[in-house]
Amino acid sequence: MDDHQRDNWRGEAQYLAQRLAAHGIRDSAVLEAIARTPRHRFLPPARRDEAYLDVALGIGCGQTISQPYIVALMTEAAQLTGRETVLEIGTGSGYQAAILAQLAARVVTMERWPELSRSARHTLQALGFHNIDFVEGDGTLGWPAAAPYDAILVTAAAPRVPPALWGQLVDGGRLVIPVGSESGQELLQLTRHGAESVTRKLCDCRFVKLVGEQGWPAAEWSASADDEPADGSDDEFDDESPGQERQADGFP
């Protein structure tokens, strides 16, 4: 990946990866992917000076590019080895897909906003990614055509785990998703073991809403295509939150 518009981005990305390691990210492959990826290419020109800060930033359509710590934490929780097919719900800027595509065999990324999907496709293809499939539609229903998936990452908050996504996960697969109310959620890693699941809390967080048939009703979503997210809608993390595991029978 090369970018002649910002000569110092590699040093900034490397420093960002070092900061994430200091915050507790341990997977060296994830950190290397962060260090290799020009995050500023996924942002509107007016926000590019903030690209290598560990903060979420508005990208239009009421959506955000997630905080790098959250991107790294979710990717680490997917436990990728390079052989997996991964479903991402919420393409957004395409930055999370870029990280996943460096660590998995194939990424399918879904987005309900056509303009965001087109922009992300353009950026990712310009950067040379060829193992990403782009789908426009209701992410709460997943994409059965490419199922089952070894890992599913959901980059917007759901009131509950969408059954359609759980049903498209392989046995032993990982679903990483923020679940909770509009005001705050828990970021969860759910691992499927036959008819049972093991759920681990990664941290407290706050994401934009996952809108769709098995998420938040579209009627409750008031952002226009030009809106920035509200101040409280950016992803946040609490690095003091301990991981917690619990086991459940059947659907989590």
Instruction: Check 28, 66, 222, 224 and give the catalytic one.
Output: 66
The sheet that has 244-249: what strands, in order across it? 132-136, 106-111, 85-89, 149-154, 169-181, 184-193, 196-205, 244-249
Match 């939150």 to its residue by tokens.
241
- The CA angle 242-140-188, to the nearest 5 degrees, is 5
Q: Quick check: 85 and 131 in contact, CB under 8 A?
A: no
Q: Quick check: 165 and 154 in contact, CB under 8 A?
A: yes
Q: Give the helix ranges, DSSP H, for the chain.
A: 9-22, 28-36, 68-78, 95-101, 114-126, 163-167
Q: Quick check: 244 and 203 in contact, CB under 8 A?
A: no
Instruction: Mark whether 66 is an active-site residue.
Output: yes
Helix (H, G, I), strand (E, B) or coil at 153: strand
The helix or strand, by DSSP H or E, that contains position 136, with its residue range, turns out to be: strand 132-136
Which residues have a catalytic role annotated? 66
